[in-house]
Structure formats: structure tokens, C-alpha cells
A and B are shown apart, each in its own frame.
Chain A
Amino acid sequence: MKRKTIIAILAGLVLLSLLVSFAGCPAAEAGYPLHDPEVRFKIATTTSLYDTGLWYHLEPIFEELANVEMDIVYAGTGIALEYGRRGDVDAIIVHDRAREDVFLADGYGINRRNFAYNFFLIAGPASDPAGIAGSTAAEAFEKLYNAGLNNPNAVKFVSRGDDSGTHAKEKLIWSQAGFDYEEVRNSGAWYVEAGKGMGPTLLMANEMQSYVMADISTFLAYNLKSNLSIVSIVEEDPIFLNVYAAIAINPETHPKAKIDIANRFINWLISKDVQDIISTYGEAEYGRPLFFPIAGCDMPGCPPVEDYTLPVPEYTSS
């Protein structure tokens, strides 16, 4: 029976580890203080805000303020919206105005507030084999398409291919350039779908020496960290404006959604404190801030002022 005893001891140890891990024992959570582990506030966030480290910076501040444990799930806008529709999270951080509007109209989300913005860019090999320097976004895409079809070995384009906000913007530019997106994506080996977050897609484009569309913030963050050999080639087209929004999940659709914390979170994001943090975040490391606070957004395509100045009202069930 000795062996049985060994197995019993093994099982006992395992059960002990279970207790330790689920009781939120402080020793097991060293270096990462738990606030109120009973109150878990879940958000799904677009990958660029995560890959640039902004959430690592903001998370502990909000946890301290609201005394909750914040769970941040890394997901492109498409997946984040799906988590929201299913009620698996309490709030989402996304950047695709068209799909946000549908999400709100379908009754899945309430209290959208924009809180930050930045711009996209097209990066590629410094030699610029497709010759897109100096083009607008749409012209650049057209050149990439033609050069890619003619010489897929030299000119490649890596797309997020994951229904994220960046991917949605890419599709928008393709249609602005007069292309049918399905045709582009099936046109040949030059068009590569990564199916990954912003940072990983950048690294992939860098490895393949291909063109890629990215937001400036993630590009800067990865350029410093991984010393990218691809460079930014096309910037400053009005279509490149990229506005981030926070949306609370509608408790009438998903009664378990923690609307009070979500509201507090959104009001906190548009508060002066956080807007100040955003206006300087990354300055020390990258020589310029990675994101812009939404209040400075004054170009065409910027959201109306009430989309970020009006605090969301307290929720009262109807």
C-alpha cells in the first residue's frame, strides 16, 4: 500500500496548491498586490494600448482608486467587440467607429467616450522597393498592390488580418483607393495575413522586410525595444487618424456586467488626471508621447466634444 500512500500524498499536495492559489494568498502574489480579489473588473483592450505598455501603467492606478482587481484581456477590436456582445467582459477599449456604432445601436454597449488618439503610418524597408514615399495612403496602397503583384519577392504587405481596428482602417483605405478588399486579399503571395496583435505583426513585417500599416505608438515602442529595420515611409494622411474609445457593456443586455465600475472607469479615463498621464506617457523613453489626450484632437474626423467631455451618468435601471 506504500505506493498508494505516495499517490495520496501527491493528491494532498496538489489540493494544498489549489487552496493557496485560489485563496489569493499574498505570498503567491508577491510583487503584484491584490486589491479586492472578490471584485474582478474585466476589460478587453485593443492590442496597441497593451503592446505599448500603457495599461501596465494605468492598471495599478485604477485598481488602487476603485479597490477592484482589474483583469485586462488582450484582444483586437473585432474580438473585443465579440467578448462584449457575449457579456464576457465589463467594458471594452476599441478603435473602429463604424463597428462601435453598430455595437451601441444593437444595445450591447452604452456610455462610449473617446479618450485618446494617435495616427497610423505605413512602414516598410528603407529602400522602399514599391516607391511609396511621398504618396497619400490610398496612392501608397495602389502602388503596393501593383508592385506586389509584379514582384512578390521584393514587395510584400503584412496585414493584421484579425478584424481589429487597424485591420478595419486598412480595409477603409483599400476602398478609398478603389479596390475591392476581398480581391486584394486573394490577389497573391505578396499580401500576407498575420492574424496577430499590432506588436507581433510589426515584428513579423520586420523579419520579412515587408510593408505594414501600424499605429505610430506601437511602431515607436517596438522600434526602441527591438530595433526595427523597417522605417516609417508614409504618414500624415487625414485618413490615418486613429481614435480610441471606451464602452461600457449594457447591463440591460447582460445583467451581470459591472456597470458602476465600468462607468467609474470611463469617467476616470476622461478625467484630467488620466488625460495628463496620456499626454506624457512614453515621453521619457521615446522622446515624444505615444498617445495624444483626446481634448487636443481638432482635425477633421475628430469626435464631437461631448464624446469625451461629458461624464457618463450614474446607471439607474429602468
Chain B
Amino acid sequence: MTEIWEGLVTAVKLIISLDPEVMQIAGRSLAISATSSAIAALICLPLGAVIHFNRFPGKRTLINIIQTLFSLPTVAVGLFVFVLFSSAGPLGGFGILFSPAVMVIGQVVLITPLMLGLIISALSATDKAITDTAVSLGASGFQMSVVTFREARFGVLAGLIMGFGRAISEVGLSLMVGGNIRGFTRTITTAISLETSKGDLELALALGMILIFIALVINIGLNRIQQR
């Protein structure tokens, strides 16, 4: 018990004193995951609308596939991205393996199905009468989707947040394609995994607390938006 307690005390000290290494790792984690979430959102918002508002054969199957990919294993995506971007791989010419850029790409691949699926379900959950009314009042296709998105905003926002949550909490992918390089690709999760294996529990605990704190802040923010 004393080990855990001492670890927690040191962890709190590290956070309160704004320890440069802890802050740097947390900042990098946030930046990488926020970037990948933003890119995934830019893909998923329009794509979700296109899938939701159009009827086409195989739509049900497509949605099923997207939902299956919710549970895409991070290490499988890691392996796939590694092989793709490794110097000997088809995209090796970019030379970005073991860099934050390739971590962002991997995270986008990882969270796009989740965001897309949740956005589609949020759109599907809106009252059909609203789109019907909008159309009957002469709304264009774009106006109609704006109305629907507004109606589905909480669900859509929750989908974006879920995507971000998956990105910032995954470790397998970041470790494999980022290489856990100190000062460059070390994120909260890869640092926790390394520090725990090194037996330096204080830093690992501090970073774990920060990760939970980030989740808390985001949830409070989401709640406030929903209550307005």
C-alpha cells in the first residue's frame, strides 16, 4: 500500500509543480490526439451525412461493417500502418515512420469508423418529421442536412468526443509506429507503459492521473454544452 500512496503523493507533486517532462508529454498527447480527431471529424461529418441521407444498395451492410470496425484492435492498425510507412513499404518514401505525423495517420484510421458510425446513428435518431417538414417548406438538400445536424448535435458531439477518447487512450498503435521516442513521440500512454516496465511508478501514476483529468474536463465541457 505504501508504494501506491507514495507514488500518488509524488504524482500530485509532479503535476502541481508543472514538471516540464510531464507537461510536455501530456501536451504532446493532447496535440496528437486532437489533431487526429479533427482530421477524422473532417472526414466523418460530411461522409456520415452522405451515407445517412442517401439510399443505396448495401447501405445496411456498409453500416454493419463500420460498426464492426468500432472494435478494430489498435495493434492491428499499428502493424498495418507500420508496414505501409516503413522505409521498405509502399509509402516509405515519406520517411515519416517514428514521427508524430504517422501516429496521427494511424489514429485517424483507428477512430474514423467509430466517429462515422456514431454520427450516422445520431443522425438516424432524429425525428423524421423534421426533415420532412424542412423538405415540404422547400429546403435544399444542404439546408435539410444542416437542420438534421442541429437536431442531432448532442449525439454527433458525443461521437466526436468518443473518437478523441479512443485516440488519446490507445497505446499499441503509438508504441508501434511512434517508437516511444523521448521528446518526440512519447505520449501519456506509451510513457505509462515504459515507466511501469522500468519500475518508475511515480511518473506513470502522474501521467495516468492527467489522462483521467483530461477525460473529466472533456466530459464536464460536453455536459455544459448539452445543458444549454
Contact = CB atoms under 8 A, between A and B. Distances in A.
Contacts of A197: 197
B180 A17 contact: no
A7 B156 CA distance: 10
A29 B199 contact: no
B92 interface: yes
B33 to A, nearest CB: 9
Given A7-B157, A196-B197, A197-B197, A73 B180 contact: yes
Interface string B174-190: 00000111111100000
Contacts of A29: 24, 183
A72 B182 CA distance: 7
B20 A203 contact: no
B87 A74 contact: no
Interface string B86-101: 1111001001011111
A129 interface: no
Interface string A12-27: 0111011011100000
Contact of A21 (B31, B42, B183): B31
A3 B150 contact: yes
Contacts of A15: 35, 38
A203 to B, nearest CB: 6
A17 to B, nearest CB: 4
Contacts of A32: 20-21, 24, 182-183
A203 B199 contact: yes
B166 interface: no
A21 B32 CA distance: 8
B157 to A, nearest CB: 7
Nearest to B161: A10
A30 interface: yes
A225 B202 CA distance: 12
Contacts of A3: 149-150, 153, 157, 225
A88 interface: yes
B112 interface: no
Contacts of A252: none
B60 interface: no
Contacts of A13: 34
B35 A28 contact: no
A200 B204 CA distance: 15
A199 B196 CA distance: 10
B24 A222 contact: no
A17 B24 CA distance: 13
A69 interface: yes
Nearest to B34: A14
Interface string A44-59: 0000000100001001
A17 B95 CA distance: 23
Contacts of B100: 21-22
A71 B32 CA distance: 18
Contact of A73 (B31, B146, B181, B199): B181
26 contacts: A1-B150, A3-B153, A3-B157, A4-B149, A11-B41, A14-B35, A15-B35, A17-B34, A20-B31, A21-B28, A21-B35, A21-B100, A28-B28, A31-B21, A32-B20, A32-B21, A32-B183, A51-B198, A69-B184, A71-B184, A74-B179, A86-B86, A86-B89, A88-B97, A88-B98, A200-B198
Interface of B: 20-21, 23-24, 27-28, 30-32, 34-35, 37-38, 41-42, 86-89, 92, 95, 97-101, 146, 149-150, 153, 157, 160, 179-185, 194, 197-200, 225
Interface of A: 1, 3-4, 6-7, 10-11, 13-15, 17-18, 20-22, 28-32, 34, 40, 42, 51, 56, 59, 69, 71-74, 85-89, 196-197, 199-200, 203, 222, 225-226, 254, 256
